[in-house]
Structure 1
């Protein structure tokens, strides 16, 4: 059973995705979990803290999944494939986090925005480092590791927009295909 804090986070995420951060009130969040608005402050400091927690939590989870995906191989192509598949699988299963993460960055106060943007930069660098490693090993043939990492990340984030578990393609097929696309982007040999 999820903790009260997790129930509140999930409710806030759903409301931020449906109504937008600005239109969501603490009373809305409280009502979604059966707590009167003022009592909600016993569990969370502010709506801003909830948004920051959602966005930093998403990035920390993506970073952890990335590290886990690449930990058991040194082969540059396999590392990039596994990282891409983890990225795509996350976005296929966490559509609301992706939507809120992209749409509500503007709603973060500057200190929270800096923290989220720093985590995003760290995540992009993980992919760029994989591409650099492949270039150095003579396995990838691409002019810009940064551009390649951006392309791979953008492809994966787009999955959150269109993927449906009951759709034409399974999550496994989609993740495998995107792994193949990532290798084509970097000109893997």
Structure 2
């Protein structure tokens, strides 16, 4: 099978698994279900992917890698702590608005991951949370933010953004731009930003 076709098939399998994990849950989804969704017999599916667990690990790991990369790009070159936090929250919220399925599966099915995948994903989640905690701690140290706990503020901001994946819809309600802007305002108020 040519490489481009193989990559396309892998993407189809991943998308089918993602849809099924959202609708049925990881445990209730079988490899035969995933194969049927892409028109491949269950047994033939193993030529493309080793296991259902590997699919879940790929989805959750890729989600965390995209969040980390998006964060790095967002804060690169930003000056003040408030501007860095504004950009980080904007990237966080937009990711969750655009990738609702990945966010849903990443949060709900974390319990279904086995080792070593679980440790990898938990490590990346901790790294991502630390990015926000460090941004807030920097703002506290410069006097730009007035909040007692950088860690608790980071968790609150992360949770607020993750909630977007649950309720946001492109075709109704506030736009992505409106949601991102308002969430950055919420975050800056939450940390007691001086000037923003």
Q: Which TM class, normalised by the smaller chain length?
A: over 0.9
| Residues 49-90 of structure 1: per-residue CA shift (max 9 Å, x gap) | 000000010000000000000002121101000100100001
Alpha-carbon separation, structure 2, partners of 1:8 and 1:83 = 31
Query: Could you say which residue in structure 2 is the equivalent of 1:8?
Result: 13
Partner of 2:55: 50
Partner SS state of residue 184, structure 2: helix
> C-alpha root-mean-square deviation of aligned residues, in Å?
1.0
Deviations 1:165-188 (A, max 9, x none): 111210000000000000001000
- Tell whether 2:136 aligns with 1:102: no
- 1:72 corresponds to 2:77: yes
Task: State which of 142, 150, 160 in structure 1 corresponds to 2:147.
Answer: 142
In structure 1, distance between residues paired with 2:117 and 2:43: 24
Q: 1:88 pairs with 72, 93, 100, which one? A: 93
Q: Which runs of 4+ in 1 moved over 2 A?
A: none
Q: TM-score, normalised by structure 2?
A: 0.94
Unaligned runs of 5+ in 2: none
Structure-1 separation of matches of 2:27 and 2:182 = 37
CA–CA separation in structure 2 for the residues paired with 1:61 and 1:6: 16
